[in-house]
């Protein structure tokens, strides 16, 4: 779509300039002029113009690029270390690529990171595209976006996957806008339609009450972000070999409007629940902040982390950093113990991939029992301390 201004009919009334909420219009020689890079095609100027001077040209929906081929994974790295969410996406990406009969490719952007390409190949990638430059050492929106956009336009992938991390969300949304394609955020499931061979992107919708499957039939690449710990990591295969493709661009591509002055590490005494192998979570059934002590004691015995439902966090009983669920963190521990958590879909989305789920609740009809590996129907204030005591005695031996 594009904004069209009929200069011959424009009377220079400035009504459109005043109506534009983005400052995309200005007057030149008493005629309205548009700044394309600032215009969002919201239509406010069209409604404001009393002389039918402005219109929005809607182009015919573009057909999918028949040349698009390959599944790409943006492999996020921090300080030269490829993040585990990338290995999770490579696992799913390998599966998708096999169904499509195409290559799985990793994209690695940074500085002094070429050696890490082998880590990506050993996790299933056939080809790794590497862009290495000093100005890419730390993530900056402008430079990383410009680089990824150029790679996509040159090699034309069919699918691009990215982690739904703070970096991934910032980057991939910008890329989608630049290349005029769709983007499905926070997917919990990805698959290929066996007949149409298009990407099926499943994610929670309407506050997590339903699961929606979204498709991008008319534009390429098909793009999606996936939360950390939703999918299993690709298996490491040291014997795998792949192709390395190094790309370089003009210096202006790496220029950014922002500058990193300093990086301050988040120092915390708590275990990161997203990486924890055992998590003990408390919900509304805990009844108060003081009662989280029994959750903490069980977690300590198991050398695990303390999690919480949104209800407990919203009540101010525990900080947000402990929240598990759609609006918190997605986790995939070996053992997840849910204490006093009913199991609404918003919470289940964040922990249902756990290998073993143990539910403790006094309501036998609680939804959490439907996905639990083991369920204990009883008063958590009796069950949890007894469980802690028993485990402490057993683990001492």
Rounded Cα–Cα distance for residues 121 and 18 (Å): 54
Whether 340 contacts 282, CB under 8 Å: yes
Q: pLDDT value at position 1?
A: 64
Whether 128 contacts 116, CB under 8 Å: no
Whether 264 contacts 388, CB under 8 Å: no
Rounded Cα–Cα distance for residues 351 and 354 (Å): 6
Alpha helices in the chain (DSSP H): 15-19, 44-48, 84-100, 117-121, 141-155, 166-179, 292-301, 310-314, 345-351, 368-371, 380-396
Q: pLDDT value at position 64?
A: 57
Whether 181 contacts 220, CB under 8 Å: yes
Q: pLDDT value at position 265?
A: 67
Q: φ, ψ for residue 279 (rounded to 5)?
A: -130, 135
Whether 301 contacts 392, CB under 8 Å: yes
Domain assignments of the chain as residue spans, ordered by start: 2-57, 71-254, 278-396
Q: Which residues pair with 223 in a beta bridge?
A: 160, 183
Q: Known binding site for FAD: residues?
A: 284, 309-310, 323-327, 340-347, 361
- For domain 2-57, the CATH class is alpha beta
| Token representation of residue 368 | 């959490």
CATH superfamily of 71-254: HUPs (3.40.50.620)
Whole-Å CA distances, 221 to 124, 125, 382:
20, 18, 54
Topology agreement, domain 71-254 and domain 278-396? yes
Q: Known binding site: residues?
A: 284, 309-310, 323-327, 340-347, 361
- CA gyration radius for the chain? 25
Q: pLDDT value at position 269?
A: 44
Rounded Cα–Cα distance for residues 5 and 27 (Å): 12
Rounded Cα–Cα distance for residues 389 and 270 (Å): 22
Q: pLDDT value at position 276?
A: 86
Q: Is cis: bond before 221, omega within 30 of 0?
A: yes
pLDDT by residue for the chain (397 residues), tens only, comes to 688 999 999 999 999 999 999 899 999 999 999 988 788 888 899 999 999 999 988 655 445 566 778 999 999 998 888 998 999 999 999 999 999 999 999 999 999 999 999 999 999 999 999 999 999 999 999 999 999 999 999 999 999 999 988 899 999 999 999 999 999 998 989 999 999 999 999 987 766 567 889 999 889 999 999 988 888 889 999 999 999 999 999 988 998 888 888 877 655 445 578 888 899 999 999 999 999 999 999 999 998 999 999 999 999 999 988 999 888 888 889 999 999 999 988 898 888 888 899 999 999 999 999 999 999 999 999 999 999 999 998 887 6
Q: pLDDT value at position 263?
A: 79
CATH superfamily of 278-396: TPP-binding domain (3.40.50.1220)
Note the pTM of the prediction, 2 decimals. Answer: 0.68
């Amino acid at each position: 779509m594009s904004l069209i201004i009929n200069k011959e009919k424009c009377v220079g009334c400035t009504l459109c300039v005043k109506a534009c909420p983005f400052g995309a219009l200005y007057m030149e020689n008493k005629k309205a002029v548009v700044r394309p890079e600032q215009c969002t095609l919201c239509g406010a100027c069209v409604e404001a113009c009393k002389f039918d001077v402005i219109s929005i040209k809607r182009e015919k929906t573009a057909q999918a690029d028949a040349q698009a081929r390959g599944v790409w994974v943006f492999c996020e790295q921090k300080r030269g270390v490829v993040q585990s969410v990338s290995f999770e996406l490579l696992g799913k990406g390998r599966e998708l690529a096999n169904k499509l009969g195409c290559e799985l490719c990793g994209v690695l952007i940074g500085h002094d990171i070429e050696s890490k390409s082998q880590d990506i190949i050993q996790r299933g990638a056939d080809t790794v595209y590497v862009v290495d430059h000093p100005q890419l050492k730390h993530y900056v929106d402008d430079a990383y976006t410009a680089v990824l956009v150029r790679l996509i336009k040159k090699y034309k992938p069919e699918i691009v996957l990215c982690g739904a991390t703070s970096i991934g969300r910032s980057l991939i949304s910008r890329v989608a806008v630049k290349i005029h394609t769709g983007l499905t955020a926070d997917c919990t499931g990805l698959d290929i339609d066996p007949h149409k061979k298009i990407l099926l992107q499943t994610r929670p919708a309407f506050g997590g009450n339903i699961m929606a499957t979204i498709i991008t039939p008319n534009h390429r690449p098909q793009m999606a972000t996936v939360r950390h710990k939703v999918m299993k990591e690709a298996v490491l295969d040291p014997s795998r070999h792949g192709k390395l493709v190094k790309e370089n661009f003009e210096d202006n591509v790496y220029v950014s409007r922002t500058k990193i002055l300093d990086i301050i590490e988040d120092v915390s005494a708590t275990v990161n629940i997203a990486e924890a192998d055992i998590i003990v979570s408390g919900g509304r059934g805990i009844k108060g902040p003081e009662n989280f002590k029994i959750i903490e004691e069980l977690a300590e015995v198991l050398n695990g982390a303390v999690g919480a439902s949104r209800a407990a966090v919203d009540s101010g009983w525990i900080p947000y950093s402990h929240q598990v669920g759609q609006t918190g963190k997605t986790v995939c521990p070996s053992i997840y113990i849910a204490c006093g958590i009913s199991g609404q879909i918003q919470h289940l989305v964040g922990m249902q991939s756990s290998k073993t789920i143990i539910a403790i609740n006094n309501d036998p009809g609680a939804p959490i029992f439907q996905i639990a590996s083991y369920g204990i129907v009883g008063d958590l204030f009796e069950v949890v301390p007894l469980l802690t005591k028993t485990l402490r005695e057993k683990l001492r031996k």
